[in-house]
Chain A
């Protein structure tokens, strides 16, 4: 029991550091990638290829003057970014990062916790995340910040429904389990879920863009319209937390998409590959290779996020609402119905009787 607690503590710290590290270097990669797309070079002065840039940015953020406006609601003003950050990190708790590890004759999951309602937990925590933005924007006592917060919350509500419904379709076609581990393990052999849920993936991806407030859905924080949106009044590391949490959100959404639709730590012919290498179940190498495969997928998804951001212009507010309510919601319902029909009559995974 004690060993389990120690192991979980280590995994917790490791996942936390992983999320922070990936988010830090995602900021660098975002700038680099944008530069490559625009025929520039990107940050190159801090360290080799600008590798120390995240440290420099963090140092800058910490050393800046921290301003809390007099007219703001002080406690809520501090709570806003904290909540946003906490929820961003909390989502990483249910994601399985690799195959179980064999330590001292026991199999330990490479996951903080495998709760059986993982998907619902994810949706719940993600929707709490918008409270951070709302509280921060409200407490700033600034029109731009409030407008940004209102936009964020309405956007989150509009897209969460389509996202949830597309997830229901995914769960139906993936065998009915809400545990993330089961969903990923289910793609161990055979096809990944993307093959059965291409439309669902598209909807989920668009909604993930909206949920993470990334372009083209970055209405809550658009500089050109709202100065800075919900973080107009924020400075120093509080602003840093907001920006940082956005990248953690992006990392986690990429992990979720890679896990739900593209098999997570599985890859084609994985079992044959492991057998060819002569590895037994629980081997460190299997976990490592699986983790590497997962991370490659996550990296590609992060690149996709950035690629979309540096290509598309921002939606207008009415376009955003039209897309959410008039296109994605009916489309996700259609996808759900289609999935059920396919599952019952073609794949026959669900027993059909009246």
Chain B
């Protein structure tokens, strides 16, 4: 498969990824390694928190959004990392059993400090299976330029 390069991306390009179903084991495994707060690990502690029941780490949701974008929605794009993101908001908890999808729109394309790469601005919205927005961000991936790849 030929990758799509920075020059091939059209501003306004939009799509929806496939789904990823969050499991209780996955929530706990992520939390044990990266976010061991009681409301991500323990049912009883979660019931007394603002989440009301066992909820995934917000960082797991960001990581899953990245997975859906890199390995699904934009898997044909020559992504070489990212500058970061702006305006990330955790709008609702993610619970075991939720199936997440990511809607994305390319809103801008800019030069970077390295002539071999351009930077996209991608509006990414993660939704659960009820269609509720759980997270949103403006993601800033670097994409290789075709001219540098010849």
Are A and B co-members of a single complex?
A: no
By a beta-carbon cutoff of 8 Å, the part of chain A in contact with chain B is none
List B residues at the A interface (Cβ < 8 Å). none
